[in-house]
Structure 1
């Protein structure tokens, strides 16, 4: 009975450890882009993976940074260990304590402090800053691995070698180095692993156009991880599993038989040992080097012109960037963010000189008020004529004279419901408080969206700053919380497609995509009104390539390019010339993508309410989430 329980316990551990990995591997062969729907077996994501320059360059960056930082940190850490070992006991204890601080310190403290250091020295964030940061936090781990081996060495042997006429360097490499080599190798592998796996420090020290796998996957989580990432993760897991198998397959030793003969290790075992110790490291170096040459050749643009773009994730067709580069010869350095609140402090700090940014309405107002934006020369953007006057007028709510922004996408926030799970037509926010849909309601995990929905349901403005109205909305959210299945962002898309919930608060662009995947879903703008939002292109005041930025904005306002983006992201375009080019009449006249003015009569645009009121909203939202 005891053995059965032990086996059961071991089985449960294996399931908890490997079930998520197996799920990931299965999803890498799912022909549907959404995890909520099985579309049949396919290997196309593996083909797409190696054709995706963004992912492959991210993989290359991850490997080269890990390899270089581990090598440099190993050299510095080993030399530091030798220096520390030669100190007297008091100073040695002090120095070991100092080197242990970075390992005990929180990663976020190290990341923020490194970022502030780079800003203070006016260093451009990018590959070099990540490398320096990784070397810095890797050195203590190398010291931790080398110092125990140094303590085990016999100093008298080294001194004896010197007495016999050996030079200090020769004596070190012949006497000391072989003894501490296992510690050096362990330190290198530990540093390589730490660098490969790091997210927090990389997140704070990276610049535009540079990503590692950790930061890339993090940026994808909020918008929905692409199947190509599943494929890459599967390849990495299988590769590591294979290498671990080889490493743990111990080579045979020479065996002395009773008759005095010596049985040597088999050739297969010798080959495995050779592969593990020599071939695999050599292949790693070759792959990284070759990948660097390939990546540089693919991304090299003639001339030194460039434009640095900061945009929402999955908010622009990648082919558009290639077309722009081919037509203009201007290289696009592209970086993505997840929320306005993540974007704002990076632009405000001035650590990175972005040329073009795509904030939402209320954030544009905040950036204007804080003098972070430069006026756009509309003479350099003749294609702005394609933007409908309606959207230019709506933009005046946050950009009164249309001097700082050019509309890019717009949409509404509404209710998406499953007609097979909801037995009544929905036209009001009140359904989000209906007890019969308990555990089947999805709410947006966003302070302004959650309070905006509730305030409109109560008949107030979604830009209310009245404390009584805000507390009334908070209490209503408290009342709703037991009915909510989950507070989500883009995950509402997959959950609704997979019939995991009956009702969800969603953005109109996401609703169009979900209906393609699940025809039982219906979208409605509630009668009480909602949020109508506009995301627009702006140029920060510290932009270094303003003319290129205006060329980029003008290019995106071209009808064929605007259409291409609309078909890729499915969010409504304010480009009326592009709308006329939409071939599918059902999409061109879609009430979701292009609702009538009557449906928008009760809709408002979010406004920046000031830092004080923002703090009030955030505090009330924390109370709701923590209760």
Structure 2
């Protein structure tokens, strides 16, 4: 879902500079053009792929599903492989943007988690167009000490009440609260909090979500899908609606900085979104053979396990799980328990009419009018 996830650290930025940008890169020899979420791959994955396959990856990034869909639906993007969230797949498939994958060219397809493939089939019937890459959840990233200082030891950090109950949010506004700048992710959470279907197509439900968010708007410092990570790590804000891996990245960066900031991530007890990002091949891919080689490479257990270790997002590769480091593999934030998974819900594509309603609501919420 959704997904950008993490901000680009210096080391990774230096590595990715070798591959950017797709639009202007001139490459000698075989190449593959890849479009992925911002900072959503291992620091050496691209270089390792080139060394292993003799194919140069030309790499671009995006930071919202809306940007991705807008680029792909206009056609002629020039990309071969794209990382698309599960809820975007029906729109892309219906528009004829994606090419069916050839299992004969994907020998590592056998490693995919059958449970995730079954979930993905609701967005990609028959698993024809997409294979799982990484997945995660949306919850609350927060500064342990600042939240306790404002709300006390009994702060409801295990509940959406922390941010969606006005009394709590008003107090937390003293230290700063951020929301994702994504109507496709925030409005389902607001609907779910109100006891309404998170994937509702009922305009009246969105009126209720709008009223709730407009009431909360004065206490929200900003809407952004990347800035909140560094701000959490540096203590500039004390809470944010966050992706699981993003909160863990903030936690790690605060610890590395030794700045005394303690960050935690909570999956609210009421339930929260779970998303699955996938690897797809575009129908107009200029290099389809190299594209499928890239997809297959990322399905190697020994390739994707270090990506999980680096990003703190679980992967869709069952054979890779034993290769993931214990710190990530045993962390319930990265790999939630079955009990937790039962409380999570997936996001679904909505009719265009509902999407327009959602866009209008979000514009009003952000402007506060």
TM-score range, shorter chain: 0.7 to 0.9
Q: Aligned pair 1:426/2:145, yes or no?
A: no
Displacement of 1:536: 0.3
The CA distance in 2 between the partners of 1:395 and 1:317, in whole Å, is 24
Q: Aligned pair 1:476/2:207, yes or no?
A: no
Displacement of 1:306: 2.2
Larger radius of gyration: 1
| Residue aligned with 1:420, SS | helix
Question: Which of the numbers 57, 63, 73 marks the counterpart of 1:338?
Answer: 63
Q: Alpha-carbon deviations, 1:531-583, whole Å to 9, x = none?
A: 10111011111123222211111110101110122233222212222221123
Kept in 2, the 8 Å contact 1:442–1:484? The answer is: yes
Question: Which of the numbers 39, 45, 64 marks the counterpart of 1:314?
Answer: 39
Match for residue 330 of structure 2? 589
Displacement of 1:515: 2.1
The CA distance in 1 between the partners of 2:253 and 2:286, in whole Å, is 43
Output aligned runs, 1:191-590, within 5 Å: 208-210=22-24, 300=28, 304-421=29-146, 422=148, 423-424=153-154, 425-432=156-163, 433=165, 434=168, 435-439=170-174, 440-518=176-254, 520-583=262-325, 585-590=326-331
| Residue aligned with 1:401, SS | helix
Match for residue 22 of structure 1? none
Higher helix share: 1
Q: 1:56 to 1:576 in 2, by over 3 A?
A: closer
Kept in 2, the 8 Å contact 1:416–1:521? The answer is: yes
TM-score for both structures, normalised by structure 2: 0.86
Displacement of 1:610: 2.1
The CA distance in 1 between the partners of 2:113 and 2:212, in whole Å, is 38
Displacement of 1:460: 1.8
Displacement of 1:455: 0.9
Unaligned 5+ segments in structure 1 are 1-32, 36-44, 59-206, 212-295
| Residue aligned with 2:248, SS | helix
Output aligned runs, 1:24-43, within 5 Å: none
The CA distance in 2 between the partners of 1:512 and 1:354, in whole Å, is 30
Q: Aligned pair 1:612/2:353, yes or no?
A: yes
Higher strand share: 2
Structure 1 outlier segments of 4+, above 6 Å? none
Kept in 2, the 8 Å contact 1:209–1:334? The answer is: no
The CA distance in 1 between the partners of 2:142 and 2:39, in whole Å, is 24
| Residue aligned with 1:595, SS | coil
The CA distance in 1 between the partners of 2:18 and 2:86, in whole Å, is 34
Unaligned 5+ segments in structure 2 are 1-6, 256-261
Displacement of 1:360: 0.9
| Residue aligned with 2:33, SS | strand
Match for residue 288 of structure 1? none
The CA distance in 2 between the partners of 1:458 and 1:533, in whole Å, is 21
The CA distance in 1 between the partners of 2:220 and 2:62, in whole Å, is 27
Q: Alpha-carbon deviations, 1:239-262, whole Å to 9, x = none?
A: xxxxxxxxxxxxxxxxxxxxxxxx
**Greater Cα offset, 589-598 or 564-573:** 564-573
**Root mean square deviation, CA, Å:** 2.4
Q: 1:565 to 1:34 in 2, by over 3 A?
A: closer
The CA distance in 1 between the partners of 2:16 and 2:337, in whole Å, is 38
| Residue aligned with 1:392, SS | helix
Kept in 2, the 8 Å contact 1:310–1:335? The answer is: yes
Kept in 2, the 8 Å contact 1:357–1:537? The answer is: yes
Q: Whose RCO is larger (CA < 8 A, sep 6+)?
A: 2
TM-score for both structures, normalised by structure 1: 0.52
Kept in 1, the 8 Å contact 2:19–2:57? The answer is: no
| Residue aligned with 1:414, SS | strand
Kept in 2, the 8 Å contact 1:509–1:572? The answer is: no
